[in-house]
Structures are given as C-alpha cells and as structure tokens.
Homo-oligomer: A and B are copies of this chain.
Amino acid sequence: MTAESVAVGTELLLGDVEDTNSAELGKVLAQFGVLHLHRQTVGDNLERLAAALRLALSRSDIVFTIGGLGPTMDDLTREGIVAALDEELVFDQAVEDEIRAKLERRRVPFAPNQSRQAMRPSSSQVLDNPNGTAPGLLCAKGGKTVIAMPGPRLEFVPMLQGPVSKYLASVSDGVIASRTLKIVGMGESLVERKLEDLMKSDDPTVAPYAKTGEVHVRITSRGTKYEEAMSRVSPVEREARARLADVVYGADEDTLESVVLALLRRRGETLAVAESCTGGGLGERITSVPGSSDVFLGGVVSYSNRLKESLLGVSPETLAQHGAVSEECAREMAEGVCRATGATWGVSVTGVAGPDGGTAEKPVGLVYTGVSGPDGTTVERNEFPGGREAVRERSQKWALLQLRKRVSGA
C-alpha cells in the first residue's frame, strides 16, 4: 500500500511557514507499514492543486492533503479534491451546526464565510476535529482514498493520531515494529562507532539521528504481526542498551523531563528550578508533561542579578567576585531555590546565551548547571555550540540529565 502527501499553502512555498506536518505524517505511515513514496507542496491555486492531486491519485493508493480547509477564499482544498475526483461539493447541515456550537462555546460570532467549511465532497465522510472548526474529510472512490486534514499543527496532530491512525490500522497489510532509544550526553559519531556492526544489519535496521542536544537510535523491523516483528527488534535493543549504558535515558515517547518526573514521583520527592539564561524554559519544559504538578513546585526566573540576590539569596560577593555566570553562582542559585521553595531538589542554570555578552574568558555558550539535593550540591560546566536558541535548549537538557544522574545515584 502506497501513500502520498500534498501540502497546500503559498506560505509553505514562500518559506514563511515550516511544514512539520508532512514529517509527522511520514512517521505514522512508517508505523503502519504504508510506503510513503512522494510528497508534493503546492500553493493556494486551484488549477495546480487539482493537477497535483490527479498526479498523486494516478500513482498512490492513499492521498493525504494537509491544509487549505479554513473558511477563507484562499482555502481551496475542498474544491481541489472534487475537481480531481470529478464530483461535487455538497452542503452538510450537521457540520455547520457543529461549527456553530464550537464557536458559541468560544463566544465567537459565526461569520458567513464559515459555511464554506460545511461544504464537503459528495463521496466524503467527516473526521472529527475537536481542536478547530475545519472538519477532516475521508473520500473513498474507485479504489483510491483521499484524506484531507487541517494545516494548524495543533489540529493536524490529534487528527493524525486519532481517526487517521484508526483508519490506517484498518487498511494496512503489514506493521512496522520499532524502538527508538533516546540518548543525551554522547555525540552521534561516538554512538555510531559503538553500534557500527549493528548498523550493517538489514533486519532489523539500526539508524542514529542527531537532534539538538540528543541522539536517537531507531531499531526497526517489518512483519505481518507486531509481535513477530518486535521479536527481531528486542535482542538488538538489549545489545544496544548494554553498549550505550547510562547515556540512554529512555525510549520511544519518553522525554528527558517525563523520565525525571516519573523518577521523582516514585520517590515522593519535589523539584524547583532557578533559571537565568533559560528565562523560564526549563520550567516550561518540565510543565509540558501533564500531571507534573505533583512533583514540580515552581521556581524563580532570576534574569537580573538583583533577583538572584533578593529571591534566591545569592551573595553580592559571589556576583562581584565571580559574576553571574560562574560555578559559585550556579551553586548558590540551586541551594537558594531549595530554601525558597522547600523542594527536595533544586536545579539551576546560568550562562551566556548570546548573541552578545560573550568575552574571551566567558564565551557565548558557556553554561553552568547546578543540582542541589539531600546529599549536597554539584555544578557542571559546559560550552555549548550553536547560537542563542540551541544554547538555551541544550542547557535545559543538560540540567535535567545532571538531575537524573544525581537522583538515580549514577
């Protein structure tokens, strides 16, 4: 079974918007063993959109459209699909009623153009979109299937993981079993060297991917049944884990923050953060995990030196002698936030995120992360590559990694 995706939007071609949806779709298709052989992107132009869909239908079993389902005149995906399938749009009163109800709950008036979203191809059924007004569409005709999904990521991803995955499970003729090991604290080339012989295997395949501050290793096999495919993945997973040892922090859907929170939850311990250069990003990362409130108390964003003193009790002498980006300051921040919040563990981050503010002695990328806990305080020094955004992200991950090591006693 083959699939193809057609992303719709002039903003994609102009580079104003990154298309992250096509990659998300690719991952899900791989899970269901559906071959994703082509991707196309076209602008908000009916003729080119219809031509792209005709081409896709000529060579692929399932065609996904992404975007162009909004209420405006630029949103042409519905029209493109009926042109390619040679059918008509019909008005669906039930869809309009649903849109009206959603808008009412948000206290937004129903605009006349919103009725466009209640038009659907005559061969279609509607896919529920709890996160927006644009319904998804599934059209089955002449042995081919067209699935239309909304473009906003927060609408696209839930629809992909919900009704679309359900549909794929019902039609796919094979499965892919895979395990992704997640690694922080070892670079891609060293990971590759440790797994070199495993990477030469065709089944299961073993492939490392570098992410900002992390490396993921994906082990994959294909089969008719999940358990059968997984029985080839598991021994390789065990071998890879043995070779990589404690740099593997988790697998698959695990994130460093979810793993750390689970570890603390089991121990009945609490966590607080003291952030300087990350500006609140470490707290945001931790609280992105639903249910984090039973472990995470909060913390202090001490972006200015004044707040490092007044809210965290960092001593004026430390700031005068060593500066805010120093081992001493990171130590006092981590200890100070434990004192201020009563948390079992305090984690601090202070560094030079750039682009300005670097010196020969304290260059952009220099970051100190501290962890204070029942058995004392430790501080680590790092120099991270890659500009403000990357330095801030790597700092967060490094701080969590250090906390994980401390909590698990590694």
Contacts and interface: CB of A to CB of B under 8 A. Distances in A.
A385 interface: yes
Contacts of A307: 297-298, 341
Given A192-B72, A193-B111, A304-B298, A290 B388 contact: yes
Contacts of A291: 356
Interface stretch (A13-21, A139-147, A370-378): A13-21
A345 to B, nearest CB: 14
Nearest to A26: B15
A231 interface: no
Contacts of A97: none
A41 to B, nearest CB: 4
Interface in A20-76: 20, 22-30, 36-45, 48, 52, 55, 70-74
User: Which of the four size classes fits the interface of chain A?
Assistant: 35 or more
Interface in A54-111: 55, 70-74, 102, 105-109, 111
A66 to B, nearest CB: 12
Of A109, A132, A180, A283, most buried by chain B (CB within 10 Å of CB) is A283
A152 B212 contact: yes
Contact of A42 (B38, B193, B280, B298): B38
A116 B356 CA distance: 34
A357 to B, nearest CB: 8
Contacts of A42: 37-39
A114 B189 contact: yes
A306 to B, nearest CB: 7
A210 interface: yes
Contact of A131 (B70, B300, B306, B390): B390
A283 B301 contact: yes
Contacts of A26: 12-16
A113 interface: yes
A340 interface: yes
Contacts of A41: 22, 38-40
Contact of A302 (B152, B292, B298): B298
List the number of copies, as a whole number: 2
Contacts of A386: 131-132, 154-155
Contacts of A283: 275, 279-281, 283, 301, 303
Contact of A70 (B25, B210, B310): B210
Contacts of A38: 13, 40-42, 48, 52
Interface string A365-407: 0000000000000000001011111101000000000000000
Which A-B residue pairs are the 6 nearest by beta carbons?
A: A280-B283, A279-B287, A15-B26, A280-B280, A39-B41, A15-B27
Interface of A: 7, 9-20, 22-30, 36-45, 48, 52, 55, 70-74, 102, 105-109, 111, 113-114, 131-132, 152-155, 158, 180, 187-190, 192-193, 199, 207-212, 216, 218, 273, 275, 277-284, 286-288, 290-293, 296-304, 306-307, 310-311, 340-342, 354-356, 383, 385-390, 392
Given A275-B283, A310-B340, 18 more contacts: A13-B37, A14-B30, A15-B24, A15-B26, A17-B23, A19-B19, A44-B207, A55-B55, A70-B188, A72-B189, A154-B389, A279-B286, A280-B284, A280-B287, A281-B281, A290-B354, A290-B388, A298-B300
19 contacts: A13-B26, A13-B37, A15-B23, A15-B27, A15-B28, A16-B23, A16-B27, A19-B23, A40-B40, A70-B210, A107-B383, A131-B385, A152-B210, A152-B211, A284-B284, A284-B392, A290-B354, A293-B304, A300-B311
